[in-house]
Amino acid sequence: MLAVCKREWKSYFTSMLGYVYLTLFLILGALMFFLNNLQGGTASMTGFFGGMISWSIFILPILTMRLFAEERRQKTEQLLLTAPVDIWEIVCGKFLAAVSAYAVGVAVTIVYAVLLAINGSLPIAETISIYIGYLLFCACIISIGTFVSSVTESQVIAAIVTYAVMLVTMFLGNLSQLVPNEILSKALMWISPLDRFSDFTAGVLNAGAVIYYISIIVIFLFLTTRVLEKRRWS
Amino acid sequence: MIEISNLTKTYGAKKALDSLSFTADKGEILGLLGPNGAGKSTTMNIITGYISCTSGIVKIDGYDVLEEPKEVKKRIGYLPEQPPLYTDMVVLDYLRFVYDLKKIKEADKKAHIIEIMKLVGINTVSGRKIANLSKGYKQRVGLAAALLGNPPVLILDEPTVGLDPKQIIEIRSVIKRLGEDRTIILSSHILSEISAVCDRVVIINEGKIVVEDTTDNLMQKYSSGRRLMLRVAGEKERVEEILLNIVGIKSVTYIGSQQEGVDFEVETDIKIEPDFNKQLFFIFAENGMPILMQKEEESSLEDIFIELTNKSDRKNETEEMGGE
């Protein structure tokens, strides 16, 4: 698992991909910081991450689109699947590489938190909770992107489908309000990853939300292993 | 070392492999021979655990590929038809990655990688990006990756494809050397390669084994008659008549006339031995027609291959028609 993770992580930063992501993330992060904190005059990072979460949906597929699609196209998956490793190790290795590459960008935003703490009264507990929630939310999107990448050979299709899936899930909360059936409406609200994030912004580390995100991650990583396994049998 | 029994793989209604069974022992280089689409790569992909079979058993060193895939994969070094290379990586980094991926436990990682690189002759390009290497070097990097960890079984799918003649000779000698203490299955449709490298050959066509034997036995068993090129100073009709009257001559084909004589290709039922040659000499001498040139041509593995695969194609067609 570690070997796959290391290789994948390195390949982000030996190619343009990692830098494209970092540039986009840092520009948007700076913009959000300027608009919410400097111009808005608040030390809270709730608004900052509220904006970043929407942008993340568009940035994250950059990191996930090629995870498996490229392996399949280049036939390098033959090396991985004939090595004495379990498929889940390959899937987790790639997932962790994408999460840690994303975390590089997120780590830079700690500078903003430090600046806010020095120059204002940063609500520490709320900020830690938001960071945890934001990372979980992003890991959740990465797991969905990993799964989508495993079902196609084309990076472009992988990215577009991930955007599409995330756009639908983004509007699940709004959609739930339009549904007349109360049970269905609640169910839609319950499965919306975006609405789950609101607990974290309120400074509450809700165990239910944490378990929800981890469950989504596990489900999609499991589905990815099943896709790879199934292809062997087809 | 390698036991394959009743291996069958179907893709929808198409049978890619049909009850394939063969074995390969330690220290043996087995050639898997067949036309394109015969099922060579499918067989290799199943042995290495890349794809699964529909039915049948594959055992490596006693371990079943479906029941204990990790144990099987530990023992195999695989070079697929298209080497699985991360072209954005430097050769040395790629081999380090494969070393870690295969969870190899050699005492000295660096020394082991250097040893393998030297063996396949890529130590001079270790610092270069794989994308910038020539096809021959890429193939060698793929071979080096397969050799990491010194696996007792090597599966090489058309290892010399795309190489120049010098490289082909070099890679063949590397394979020969490796085969001394390993089991190697090598696929190819280049017959000279198989006869130069392999001890035993399995010829497959349309997913079925057509024949399995040593290269020497194949030559002996399936050489359908012996061929002789003959140039005689004489009239075409007369030479043909004399040749057809000699016992053992199956057919005579006129090739052309030269200034000094006429050329014929002669096919015989019997092995061309000194007695036959003497007989030929005296008959033509008696008729006052000197033999100017005589050259024996044995059937090559290529002829045997074509004959056997054609035979199996005809058999399949007959079966299909019978079925209808």
Q: How close, in Å, is residue B65 to chain A by CA atoms?
A: 11
Tens of pLDDT along A104-141? 999 999 998 898 888 888 888 888 888 988 899 999 99
> If we measure between CA atoms, which residue out of B222, B276, B278 comes closest to residue B249?
B276
Say what the pLDDT of residue B225 is.
Answer: 58
Tens of pLDDT along B16-64? 888 889 999 888 899 988 888 888 889 999 999 999 888 999 999 889 9
Q: Pull the structure tokens for residue A3.
A: 């070997």
Q: How close, in Å, is residue B312 to chain A by CA atoms?
A: 28
Residue pair B151/B144 in contact by the 8 Å Cβ criterion:
no
Which residue on chain B is closest to A7 by alpha carbon? B97
Confidence of residue B318 (pLDDT cuts 50, 70, 90): low
CB within 8 Å: B86 and A74: yes
* Distance, CA of B168 to CA of B146 (rounded, Å): 18
Q: Report yes or no: A107 at the B interface, CB cutoff 8 Å.
A: no
Q: Which of A15, A79, A233 sits opposite B84 (nearest CB)?
A: A79
Q: How close, in Å, is residue A34 to chain B by CA atoms?
A: 37
Which residue on chain B is closest to A93 by alpha carbon? B101
Cβ burial of A119 (10 Å; 0-12, 13-18, 19+) is exposed
Q: Which of A2, A11, A83 sits opposite B73 (nearest CB)?
A: A83
Tens of pLDDT along A40-98? 888 788 888 888 888 888 888 888 888 888 888 888 999 999 999 999 999 999 999 99
In this predicted structure, the answer to whether residue B74 has a pLDDT above a threshold of 50 is: yes
Give the mutation candidate from A79, A87, A90, A230 for the B interface (greatest B CB count, under 10 A). A79
CB within 8 Å: B82 and A75: yes
In this predicted structure, the answer to whether residue B69 has a pLDDT above a threshold of 80 is: yes
Q: How close, in Å, is residue B89 to chain A by CA atoms?
A: 8
Q: Report yes or no: B145 at the A interface, CB cutoff 8 Å.
A: yes
Q: What is the length of chain A?
A: 234
In this predicted structure, the answer to whether residue B274 has a pLDDT above a threshold of 80 is: no
B103 CB contacts (<8 Å, ≥6 apart)?
A84, A85, B74
Confidence of residue B135 (pLDDT cuts 50, 70, 90): confident
In this predicted structure, the answer to whether residue B324 has a pLDDT above a threshold of 50 is: no
Residue bearing the bigger pLDDT, B94 or A159: B94
User: Helix or strand or coil: residue B22?
Assistant: strand
In chain A, residues with a C-beta closer than 8 Å to the C-beta of B87 are 74
Q: Give the Cβ contact number of residue B314 at 10 Å.
A: 10
Give the mutation candidate from B14, B86, B93, B95 for the A interface (greatest A CB count, under 10 A). B86
Handedness of CA B88, B93, B95, B101 (dihedral sign): negative
In this predicted structure, the answer to whether residue B96 has a pLDDT above a threshold of 90 is: yes
- pLDDT, average across residues A197-201: 77
Q: Report yes or no: A84 at the B interface, CB cutoff 8 Å.
A: yes
CB within 8 Å: B100 and A82: no
Mean of the per-residue pLDDT values for chain A? 87
Residue bearing the bigger pLDDT, B216 or B283: B283
ipTM: 0.86
In chain B, residues with a C-beta closer than 8 Å to the C-beta of A233 are 51-52
Q: How close, in Å, is residue A62 to chain B by CA atoms?
A: 18
Residue pair B31/B188 in contact by the 8 Å Cβ criterion:
yes
Confidence of residue B75 (pLDDT cuts 50, 70, 90): very high
Complete domains list, chain B, with CATH = 2-221 (3.40.50.300), 225-297 (3.30.70.1340)
Q: Which of A4, A14, A15 sits opposite B101 (nearest CB)?
A: A4
